[in-house]
Structure 1
Amino acid sequence: MPRRHWEQIPDEVRREVARHSGPIRSAVTVASGASCDLAVVLDTATGPVFCKGGEADGPTGWLYRNEARINPWLPDVAPRLRWTVESSGWLLLGFDHVAGRHPDLAPGSPDLVPLAALLTGLTGTLTPCPPVPVQRFTARWHGLIAPELVDGDSLLHTDMTPRNFLLGDRLHLVDWSSPAVGAAWIDAAFVVVRLVRAGHEPTDAESWARRIPAYAEAHERAVTAFVDAFVRLRERKQRTVPAPHHGPILDAARRWAAYRARHRAHTRRA
């Protein structure tokens, strides 16, 4: 979606933000990210703040409300929400600013070590799911997979794109706008697809994922069903809302699914 600039936001909304953050000296638009009308770093009297949001009743308004609701329950790998402003039809969230770069997921990257550590820590901290209303993953993937294969009691992020990780003095995971409750290994499985997309062979991507205990303990049938469902989901998305960036992740998922099909056939013959 087209990204708005701070100067395009209604004056009343900007004044309300300043009441929470203190005087705002400057605002720099953040170019990356796909699901918000506004994303800026505000230079305030109390330090930098990352501000995101959009029209409260717009198509992505529910995502901002999701993130505001879940943030108090998250560990410190997620930037803390400082304030929420809803004014003049806009809903904006202000977070602690985290400086860093997106991790490199290519084979041999040293960034894969802290990534595995972060996912391992999340499954330990967010199982069981905190007492906050969150959609079940079985409902989100209804009709795509047998519910018992992905059901569980872990709070999941579910959007494991590299742009949602920021690596500075340590690794952070941002944009918790699509949380779900499900099996603890699911976020790691989403990362496997991203690793294949980044150039890993599926067998190597799975070897990396097995560093994460929750994934190592996942049932083989469940993981196979997951990637098959992911392929169908992405094929449907490509048909209904085609976009150039959809193709590479669909190709990666198909390569992983083909690998698992060959592995399953080999196991049966053995």
Structure 2
Amino acid sequence: MPTTRITYDELPQQVRAAIEEVTGPVDSATSATTGLNSAVAARLHTATGARFCKALPADHRWVWTQRREADIAPHLHGVAPALLTRLEIGGWDILLFDALDGRHADYGPDSADPPAVVALLEAIAQTACPPIELRDAAERLRDYTSNPADLRHFTGPALLHTDLNNANVIVNAGRARIVDWGWATRGAAWLDAAYWVLWLIAAGHSPAAAERWAGKVSTWRTAPRAGLLAFSEAQGALWAEINGRDPDDLWTARLADASQQWVAYRRKLD
């Protein structure tokens, strides 16, 4: 379920004081309009520049994603915003980042953004997977894979983001970077390009056109045919489950439809 969103100004005064010891006085704060997993997600405007604040109650079931982002941030130079600090105070877990300038990526068929995303995925692929605790791709997909033998296709040593939602990709002057690393995963190198395919289809690309864009990412060429079918089917099962929880949610319905288009396309190729 989505986390209830509050504004920065609704945080306890003790918590805001601790944040402003790091950022300096906050002149104003603008809440993000996208994202579901943070109680506070706000751009903080200060005299020394913009910062981004993410916060969850310290007892929230997803607070581990805050720890994961803090652990991985030092390893993401060039592909993600720099982390200033993580604070734990007053019952809150807070991450403070340098704010990225730019806009959310446009994945539509007529957009000029996909080449920047290709470059971003190449940069992630060239980033060494750090020796920290990470989710495992095969474990994450286990419940959505009908044949356990297919899980071997998803294992590997590569660093993966796994949530290529265009709202996570910030484009500025032709360069793309990606935020929200809480679900960072270790697995097969081609998986991030495959996750992108689903979002491209949801944005209006045909499955064939989406895969052509993914094919510009070098790691895609290592994907086994059977692995692509198994992954598309796993995404189909995952998004059918998510959509089943709230069939009136147009966002999840769009992803569920895209996943079924991709499954049908992959089965025809098999």
Q: How does 1:142-221 map to 2 (within 5 A)?
A: 142-145=142-145, 146-169=150-173, 170-221=175-226
- Whether contact under 8 Å (1:6, 1:40) holds in the other structure is yes
Could you tell me which amino acid in structure 2 is paired with residue 204 of structure 1? A
Q: What is the CA deviation profile of residues 203-233 of structure 1, one whole-angstrom value per residue up to 9, with x for unaligned ones?
A: 1111111111110221111011000011111
1:268 alignment partner in structure 2: none
Deviates further, 85-94 or 237-246: 237-246
Q: Does 1:227 align with 2:232?
A: yes
1:88 alignment partner in structure 2: 90
- Whether contact under 8 Å (1:209, 1:216) holds in the other structure is no
CA distance in 2, matches of 1:263, 1:141: 22
What is the TM-score normalised by the length of structure 1?
0.93
What is the TM-score normalised by the length of structure 2?
0.93
Deviates further, 168-177 or 178-187: 168-177
Deviates further, 51-60 or 184-193: 51-60
Q: Where do 5+ consecutive residues of structure 2 fail to align? A: none
Q: How far did residue 89 of structure 1 move?
A: 0.5
Deviates further, 135-144 or 78-87: 135-144
Percent identical pairs in the alignment equals 35
Deviates further, 112-121 or 233-242: 233-242
- RMSD (CA atoms): 1.4
1:74 alignment partner in structure 2: 76
CA distance in 2, matches of 1:174, 1:92: 15
2:259 alignment partner in structure 1: 253
Q: How far did residue 241 of structure 1 move?
A: 4.9
CA distance in 2, matches of 1:226, 1:78: 26
Could you tell me which amino acid in structure 1 is paired with residue 231 of structure 2? F
CA distance in 2, matches of 1:57, 1:76: 32
Deviates further, 17-26 or 182-191: 17-26
Q: How does 1:88-127 map to 2 (within 5 A)?
A: 88-126=90-128
CA distance in 1, matches of 2:97, 2:113: 24
Could you tell me which amino acid in structure 1 is paired with residue 51 of structure 2? V
CA distance in 2, matches of 1:8, 1:168: 30
CA distance in 2, matches of 1:143, 1:91: 30
CA distance in 2, matches of 1:33, 1:10: 22
1:267 alignment partner in structure 2: none
Q: Does 1:237 align with 2:242?
A: yes
Could you tell me which amino acid in structure 1 is paired with residue 89 of structure 2? S
1:4 alignment partner in structure 2: 6
CA distance in 1, matches of 2:127, 2:264: 33
Runs of 4+ in structure 1 over 4 Å off: none
Could you tell me which amino acid in structure 2 is paired with residue 223 of structure 1? L
Partner SS state of residue 142, structure 2: coil
Could you tell me which amino acid in structure 2 is paired with residue 111 of structure 1? D
